[in-house]
Amino acid sequence: MPYETLSTAHCFGGTQGFYRHESSSTGTPMRFAVFTPPQAATRPVPVLWCLAGLTCTEENFSTKAGAQRRAAELGLMLVMPDTSPRGDGVADDAAYDLGQGAGFYLDATQAPWAANFRMGSYIADELPRLIGAHFPADMHAQGITGHSMGGHGALTLALTHPGRYRSVSAFAPIVAPMQCPWGEKALTAYLGADRAAWRGVDACALIADGARLPDVLVDQGLADNFLAEQLKPELLEAACAKAGIALTLRRHAGYDHSYWFISSFIDDHLDWHAARLKRPAV
């Protein structure tokens, strides 16, 4: 599984790198970023997947979240993929919430998207194989987090791959894409008009249908412009309560949807993941 190193920089005793490879899942070149902590010089380290939101690339979380300092202290590898396939021959849409930059971490089944938009398989299967083969990663200790569309991806990937991720968290996630404009637009385009096909990529629907997580941490800003129409954390709160899932939902007055919000609470999330990833496997 060859890959190309685009750049690396020494960071908090570790290495922040940016990479590119040819993806068999998407049929395109894909870029990703990895922060390798200093502890990886002597042993494999736990892996935290960090999924970005609409319009973002592998650079957003790696340059704006401020996660490397605490990740270095905790010995966590951070893997930050791009949010979609890209390129001149890849289907796109003029709007920001569909197409390139808006892969929604699922495998599309509808034309023209099905040819390349297979981000579910890419994040769950292909990229982990590459990371496990080429980086000092303990693939038996994986966690996942994400922001907005990436929060949706973190929740749905964890729910559909039970036992894969020992820890799950999200910042301002899209928790019920079947019930918000962003989700309805994307799921119609990528999966077709049959709403039954959408349930496998909707966190609240997955929970209602029996999928489970041990626990999950979610932070939500109350000054988020997308809160009422797109994010609806109260739906996840109700779904988890009914299913008996231990949800820690923290609502923060004054915080919006930006990386200023993420950077304010990123250390809490990294601590959450480290506590679970460093426990012995059961």
Catalytic residue IDs: 148, 224, 257
Cα separation of 198 and 258, whole Å?
27
Q: Residue 216: left (phi > 0), alpha (psi -120 to 50), or beta?
A: beta
Task: Report residue 69 as tokens.
Answer: 């300092």
Return the percent helix, strand and coil in the chain, to nearest 5: 40, 25, 35
User: Is 27 exposed, middle or buried, given 0-12, 13-18 or 19+ CB atoms closer than 10 A?
Assistant: middle
Cα separation of 26 and 100, whole Å?
12
Mention every residue, 6+ apart, whose C-beta is less than 8 A from residue 111.
Answer: none
Provide the 3-class DSSP secondary structure of residue 270.
Answer: helix
User: Is 199 exposed, middle or buried, given 0-12, 13-18 or 19+ CB atoms closer than 10 A?
Assistant: middle
Torsion of CA 239, 244, 245, 248, to 10 degrees: 90
